[in-house]
Chains A and B, each alone.
Chain A
Amino acid sequence: EADIYQTPRYLVIGTGKKITLECSQTMGHDKMYWYQQDPGMELHLIHYSYGVNSTEKGDLSSESTVSRIRTEHFPLTLESARPSHTSQYLCASSESAGGRTDTQYFGPGTRLTVL
């Protein structure tokens, strides 16, 4: 079934650890996005990709990095986690639709807590 997956769903780690949040989609979409969302607050775009080997930083500055080696996979990495990284991270994907903006499909999210 076509879907967008995120693992882990919940992660509690200590300060200084390196972590990778996984995001995969089987929808055949070329565009993928990472958003950060604090509870009850708006979503902020932190990274996006329009295709393989294409990555861009979003509107919100983030210490994380991303890679896009395969179309379906868009992992996000924090080299050294800090308590300020505690948040929910949402992955999304969309397909190109000519000049029209694409609908974004969201994954279930990863709730990260850094102690």
Chain B
Amino acid sequence: AQRVTQPEKLLSVFKGAPVELKCNYSYSGSPELFWYVQYSRQRLQLLLRHISRESIKGFTADLNKGETSFHLKKPFAQEEDSAMYYCALSGHNYGQNFVFGPGTRLSVLP
């Protein structure tokens, strides 16, 4: 079965420090991985997807199939990055439905 884990419920870093939000998945096949973000009082929205291989708001994520990971990274955290981050997986074997991780709350301190 497909599953997404995010080991940290809360991650606090200081402004300007590097940040890494961990995501591991289990899936027997070639999944598509995503990061969604929810800022305070805003709706859940897509941050980035692995097939795009792009940097959004300074964030990048690399799919590591050997380690079945899709960690989200940013070299210098900003206060406006404080939000709830969800890693998600979509597996074609299951009709392309999403499985979301439990989420990590990132708090960037001044």
Asked if B13 is at the interface (CB within 8 A of a chain A CB), the reply is no
List the B residue with the shortest CB-CB distance to A99. Answer: B92
Residues of B with C-beta under 8 A to A40 = 9, 103, 105
Tier of interface size on chain A: 20 to 34
A108 to B105, CA, bound (A): 19
At the interface, is chain A mostly helix, strand, loop or mixed? loop
Q: Which of A20-28, A41-49, A61-69, A78-86 contacts B (4 or more CB under 8 A)?
A: A41-49
A64 to B104, CA, bound (A): 28
A43 near B100 (CB under 8 angstroms)? yes
**0/1 per residue, A46-78, Cβ < 8 Å to B?**
001000000010110000000000000000000
Contacts A43-B86, A59-B97 known; A106 to B102 CB distance under 8 Å?
A: no
Q: Which of B18-26, B40-48, B59-67, B68-76 contacts A (4 or more CB under 8 A)?
A: B40-48
A33 to B65, CA, bound (A): 28
A42 to B92, CA, bound (A): 21
B51 near A109 (CB under 8 angstroms)? no
A42 to B32, CA, bound (A): 18
